[in-house]
Structure 1
Amino acid sequence: MCVYTRSGKGRYGEVWLGEWGGESVAIKIFTSQDEDSWAREGEVYGTYMLHHDNIAKFIACDKRPLNLGFELWMVMEYHHNGSLLDFLLIHSLTAYQAQRFVYSIASGLHYLHVDIQTGAQIKPGIAHRDLKSKNILVKSDHSCCISDFGLAVRHVGATGHVDISSINPRQGTKRYMAPEILDGSINYTKFDSYKMVDMYCFGLIIWEVARRTSNRAEEYQLPYFQHVSHDPSMDDMRKVVCTDSIRPTIASWWSEDEVNLVCAQIEMMIIT
């Protein structure tokens, strides 16, 4: 494998562009402090039947020696458009692109959430727990795929047990946290609770897409940009989302655009 360009930096480490077998690949390099997230993501990708056009393709993972320690590598399919956040920052969308983005994310999320049984083999339901525009990749055909499963939980259908890492207490990105996480009312023993959290995040992502759609597209902004700083605290988000019951603003002009009107209707059903 040849590694030659750093292409980004995330919460858990760096992402490099490399080459493997003549093909470009993305190499996520985790620090040793984030071994739990690296291991969890590897476990999730090892789940039976976790292959779908709208889920990022896993290639390999490895623990590599470095000086007196080690690096944790995860090799993934490379998508030159980057994340949905990156794409929305510099591109406004046509109605067709917006529909394709939202539909493909919904398709990937639905496949993650459902239990599937084929003979004796079972694909458990999986909830992402950190869904956001930065963790969605834009493919060359302008469909999307969901990535970054370091916080994911799996559903053991036969027992109803939720398989969650007990050594990684992170609960996702504060800006995207659902009200029931912020106010502590979530039932952590029920898998449906985690699916509902993912759906709330999906509603916020629809809002991000809708703002950048049509010839009246607005400047890209993160959800709740008018109400909190770039790096809000849990208390900041709890006040806005739970105490003040604020939700992202639906622009008046969306009602004049068929695609954005549909997006707004879906989003409001999800996040209210």
Structure 2
Amino acid sequence: MTRPRYPNFGTALIFLSVAQLSTGLKCVCQLCANNTCETGADGACWNSVMLIDGKEEAVKSCLSPSEMKGQVFCYSSRNVSKRNCCFTDFCNNETLHLHPELNERRGKDQPLEGVRIINDDLTFMVWRHTARAEKRPTAGASWGRLELAAVILVPSCLLCVGILLGVCTVQGQCCLYGKARKHDVEEALDDQTLMSPDKCLKDLIFDMSTSGSGSGLPLLVQRTIARTIVLQEIIGKGRFGEVWRGRWRGEDVAVKIFSSRDERSWFREAEIYQTIMLRHENILGFIAADNKDNGSWTQLWLVSEYHEHGSLFDYLNRYTVSVDGMVVLALSIASGLAHLHMEIIGTQGKPAIAHRDLKSKNILVKKNSTAVIADLGLAVKHDSITNTIDIPANHRVGTKRYMAPEILDDTINMSSFESFKRADIYSLGLVFWELARRCSVRGIYEDYQLPYYDMVPSDPSVEDMKKVVCDQKLRPNIPNQWQSCEALRVMGKIMRECWYATAAARLTALRIKKTLSQVTVIKDVKD
């Protein structure tokens, strides 16, 4: 009996695999609503497992094409964490272990490299298909020539297509990635191959910002910078971990070090900061993200610009501000929030983003007395095409003292992105109240206090805040003497319009920015 022939079997598989790479993937996502996310073209599914206190903890999500160009998210550290990227629908649903079959096949003396980068994505698919074929139970009869040929030739054909595809898509970076992968995982990369030694951080960031992407430095450059930073002193602590002042090529940088238990927050904040077109003079300047492994535990680094004045909370505790200084700070904060909230439409556009944890401790003061908005770990992005909100599955819920009424009484519409923006505006009004109290007019000013300091305990619960804000409908006191100063009078009016119990009645960030700009213009005309 002759066997049926399938002359187009190998060709069909090749075209099926190539077509799958050119379209979006559906992935398991613990950080998304419905536990599902969808990548863009050339994206990947991401699966990470870390060893914490002897137990393996996994995180699954999607990666964009820009994140696939480096090894920060697909990179796997030896024996401590495993991070894999794969390229079929829901392929990251499989359970990863710290010592997978792949490591055993490679030999005990060879380090685990993790999954290959983008130019080897088809090779990874070949491994998956081969592994599955090996696990199938064999029938009573041995394989025929056609089956053996398919097992040998199909992976070879896929490998050739993968190599050709990689050459076409990353031809300018092949040499660079080849050099980087020759280094041991714990060795510092040679940054001389990536950037000129006479370039400072501002030059690097400017070059990348004007190159068209607007999403920050390439991931290999980020890794090179992070691994050559020398930590100097600790400058802050929080629920996420610690903040250090570091030095890179003689320049100060801020290094936010997350604990390994908070990998989701690190991943989320790095993802938000690398959003296309996010960079703005009133948003904290992101530099790099990296995971550093010392063989027994992993540090998750987020590197940003350093501002010696620290947070607005620290600044207002130490200093008073003039009327001019108050307006400049308020205008810069409103400008940063307006940029976050704004959607930029286009091929290099930016999604609208809501902060969700706006407060004086998450705003930093620059040398020129303007401010930048920081800490985007709780931020949400809005996809206007699908009208969906990318809400992270994170245990952090913001700061109770700054929560809007609709969040406190749980009436916020989580399916409407406008709801998140309006909650930011409520928090902005409280920050303006903190700032205005420290404004010195003819030598008269108030001591620094947190919002609702005289109405709730020092560490209020949700119930404490709900009783004051929702039930009693109280708001921070606006002194009568503010009416004697034009700028303070305008600030007081803005605050009241930010604190409306009805969220839809609140001002927008852009409207606040324009109002404060007019205060500056009026003053300039009078001068």
Range of TM-score over shorter length = over 0.9
Please list the CA deviations of residues 125-178 of structure 1 after superposition, one character each: whole Å capped at 9, or x if unmatched.
Answer: 00000000000000000000000000000010111100111x214221000000
Structure 2 counterpart of 1:64, one-letter code: K
Alignment of 1:173 with 2:396, yes or no, is no
Alignment of 1:144 with 2:371, yes or no, is yes
Q: Which moved more, 1:180-189 or 1:32-41?
A: 32-41
Q: CA deviation at 1:4?
A: 1.2
SS state of the match for residue 7, structure 1? strand
More strand by share: 1
Alignment-derived partner of residue 238 in structure 1: 466
Which of 411, 422, 425 pairs up with 1:196?
Answer: 422
Alignment-derived partner of residue 51 in structure 1: 279
Alignment-derived partner of residue 444 in structure 2: 216
State the distance in 1 between where 2:291 and 2:487 align. Answer: 46
Alignment of 1:38 with 2:254, yes or no, is no
Please list the CA deviations of residues 55-110 of structure 1 after superposition, one character each: whole Å capped at 9, or x if unmatched.
Answer: 00000011112452211111110000100000000111100100001000000000
Alignment of 1:229 with 2:452, yes or no, is no
State the distance in 2 between where 1:116 and 1:226 align. Answer: 41
Which of 371, 384, 387 pairs up with 1:157?
Answer: 384
Structure 2 counterpart of 1:207, one-letter code: W
Structure 1 counterpart of 2:390, one-letter code: D
SS state of the match for residue 349, structure 2? strand
SS state of the match for residue 123, structure 1? coil
SS state of the match for residue 477, structure 2? coil
Structure number with higher relative contact order (C-alpha < 8 Å, ≥ 6 residues apart): 1
| TM-score between the two structures when normalised by the length of structure 1 | 0.97
Q: Which moved more, 1:256-265 or 1:148-157?
A: 256-265
State the distance in 1 between where 2:416 and 2:353 align. Answer: 12
State the distance in 1 between where 2:331 and 2:452 align. Answer: 23
SS state of the match for residue 243, structure 2? strand
SS state of the match for residue 397, structure 2? coil
Map of 1:94-113 to 2, 5 A cutoff? 94-113=322-341
Structure 1 counterpart of 2:235, one-letter code: S
Structure 2 counterpart of 1:226, one-letter code: D
State the distance in 1 between where 2:312 and 2:486 align. Answer: 22
Q: CA deviation at 1:11?
A: 2.5
State the distance in 2 between where 1:7 and 1:255 align. Answer: 38
Q: CA deviation at 1:121?
A: 2.3
Structure 2 counterpart of 1:42, one-letter code: A
Alignment-derived partner of residue 271 in structure 1: 499
Q: CA deviation at 1:122?
A: 2.1
State the distance in 2 between where 1:67 and 1:89 align. Answer: 41
Map of 1:2-17 to 2, 5 A cutoff? 2-17=230-245
Alignment of 1:26 with 2:254, yes or no, is yes
Gap regions ≥5 residues in structure 1: none
Which of 396, 409, 412 pairs up with 1:186?
Answer: 412
State the distance in 2 between where 1:110 and 1:85 align. Answer: 21
SS state of the match for residue 122, structure 1? coil
- Deviating above 4 A after TM superposition, structure 1's stretches of 4 or more consecutive aligned residues are none
Structure 2 counterpart of 1:248, one-letter code: P
State the distance in 2 between where 1:266 and 1:159 align. Answer: 33
Alignment-derived partner of residue 225 in structure 2: none
State the distance in 1 between where 2:293 and 2:445 align. Answer: 48
Q: Which moved more, 1:26-35 or 1:59-68?
A: 59-68
State the distance in 2 between where 1:121 and 1:260 align. Answer: 39
Q: CA deviation at 1:27?
A: 0.5
Structure with bigger gyration radius: 2
SS state of the match for residue 75, structure 1? strand
SS state of the match for residue 208, structure 1? helix
**CA shift in 2, pair 1:268/1:17, >3 Å:** same
State the distance in 2 between where 1:121 and 1:80 align. Answer: 33
Sequence identity, in percent? 50
Alignment-derived partner of residue 122 in structure 1: 349
Structure 2 counterpart of 1:219, one-letter code: D
Gap regions ≥5 residues in structure 2: 1-228, 501-527
**CA shift in 2, pair 1:211/1:20, >3 Å:** same
Structure 1 counterpart of 2:250, one-letter code: G
**CA shift in 2, pair 1:243/1:50, >3 Å:** same
Structure 2 counterpart of 1:191, one-letter code: F
